[in-house]
């Protein structure tokens, strides 16, 4: 085994996989990657299952060093510059970090989260079936918290191969974020529901993995803002007493006591999560039947991610053949 040492890191970087399931009955959030599509791409590039654990890197930069042997990584997600020992490296391609080598990346230029896939996986003891970090609950492995400078992750030693891999890009998705109305849209005035869809919302800098706070016009409740607490899902959009929507995400609580005006569809959660602080979004309503079709399409896309990975000859191979 080799090790990946954290030399520099921002405050929102942690180990995440597809998340834990079956523990919400105990009040434990599922956590997991904020952008499951980018997680799948990073893992497919290094030969891991698409839901395997990777390093989720927040909006700031990071720097890692290989110790004890070469480490092969892949970077997918937010657009940012990357270097291997000072030389330019590419997003959506595998990179071989030699023993003692350093892989560094800048702050995100667009988007928020990137995923560092690791050939040979991250060693850790699953907590309720997952390595995903939930800082508030103190869950996760190998560290039950965000990564810090000096942390050392045990990973697989890179295989000796004459090629690297790259990912053929998927079409860029644009347009409003699609939602299913409810389940408590009737707790809002009809004017508030119309305003929710008609307004442009700004993602607050106070947002985090628990949820994105949206800034815009105040939405009025029909009859108070407290309801009997009930279950939440990733993408639930609550409207608390201040009338400013809160979109619940990976580290949300399993229940909530504010009306939920709408729910972001599964297929649009990655795109929404990649909206930077200060970024603006609009919402559009989708019938439940269409949302279900989009969920199936999204699941099929994830299952076929590996088919978009292709071999890329290394410079050494090309030189040897010449």
Domains of the chain by start residue, with CATH? 2-167+308-321 (no CATH), 177-286 (2.40.100.10)
pLDDT tens sequence across 76-87: 999 999 999 999
In order of 42, 111, 184, the CA distances from 270 in angstroms are 14, 10, 24
pLDDT tens sequence across 98-136: 999 999 999 999 999 999 999 999 999 999 999 999 998
Q: Which of 196, 194, 192 is nearest to 177 (CA)?
A: 196
Query: Could you tell me which residues come within 8 angstroms of residue 26 by beta carbon, excluding any fewer than 6 positions away?
Result: none
Q: Which residues of 6-43 are buried (b: 16+ CB within 10 A; e: fewer)?
A: beebeebbbbbbbbbeebbeeebbbbbbbbbbbbbbbb
Instruction: Return the DSSP state at 185.
Output: G
Q: Residue 275: its pLDDT value, please?
A: 98
Full strand arrangement of the beta sheet holding 54-57: 14-16, 54-57, 110-118, 71-79, 94-97
Q: Residue 319: its pLDDT value, please?
A: 38
In terms of pLDDT, which residue wins out, 219 or 90?
A: 219
Judge whether residue 222 has pLDDT over 80: yes
Q: 251 falls in which pLDDT band (50, 70, 90)? A: very high
What is the spatial distance between Cα 302 and Cα 311, in angstroms, rounded to a whole number? 19
Q: 1 falls in which pLDDT band (50, 70, 90)? A: confident
Global pTM reads 0.94
pLDDT tens sequence across 159-181: 988 789 999 999 888 999 999 99
Q: 317 falls in which pLDDT band (50, 70, 90)? A: very low
CB 217 within 8 A of CB 199: yes
Tell me the percentage of the chain whose pLDDT exceeds 70.
97
H or E stretch including 292?
A: helix 288-303
**DSSP of 218-233:** PPPBSS-S----EE--
Q: Residue 314: its pLDDT value, please?
A: 61
What is the spatial distance between Cα 177 and Cα 166, in angstroms, rounded to a whole number? 29
Hey, which residues does 312 pair with through a beta bridge? Answer: 164
């Amino acid at each position: 085994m080799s090790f990946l040492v954290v030399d520099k890191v921002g405050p929102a970087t942690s180990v995440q996989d597809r998340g834990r399931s079956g523990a919400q009955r105990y009040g434990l959030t599922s956590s997991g990657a904020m952008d499951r599509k980018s997680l799948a791409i990073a893992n497919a590039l290094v030969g891991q299952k698409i839901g395997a654990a990777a390093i989720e890197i927040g909006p700031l930069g990071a720097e890692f060093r290989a110790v004890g042997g070469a480490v092969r990584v892949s970077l997918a997600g937010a657009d940012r510059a990357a270097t291997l020992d000072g030389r330019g490296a590419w997003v959506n391609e595998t990179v071989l970090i030699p023993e003692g080598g350093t892989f560094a990346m800048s702050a995100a230029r667009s988007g928020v989260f990137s995923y560092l896939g690791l050939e040979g996986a991250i060693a850790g003891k699953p907590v309720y079936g997952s390595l995903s970090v939930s800082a508030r609950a103190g869950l996760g492995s190998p560290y039950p918290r965000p990564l810090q400078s000096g942390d050392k992750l045990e990973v697989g030693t890179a295989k000796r191969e004459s090629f690297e891999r790259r990912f053929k890009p998927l079409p860029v998705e644009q347009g409003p974020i699609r939602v299913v109305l409810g389940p408590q849209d009737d707790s809002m005035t009809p004017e508030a529901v119309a305003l929710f869809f008609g307004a442009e919302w700004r993602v607050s800098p106070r947002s985090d993995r628990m949820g994105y706070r949206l800034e815009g016009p105040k939405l009025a409740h029909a009859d108070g803002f407290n309801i009997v607490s009930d279950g939440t899902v990733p993408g639930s959009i609550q409207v608390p007493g201040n009338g400013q929507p809160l979109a619940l995400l990976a580290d949300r609580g399993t229940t909530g006591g504010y009306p939920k005006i709408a729910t972001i569809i599964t297929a649009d959660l990655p795109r929404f999560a990649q909206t930077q602080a200060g970024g603006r979004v609009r919402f559009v309503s989708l019938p439940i039947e269409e949302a279900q079709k989009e969920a199936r399409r999204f699941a099929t896309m994830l299952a076929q991610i590996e088919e978009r990975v292709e071999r890329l000859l290394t410079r050494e191979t090309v030189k040897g053949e010449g």
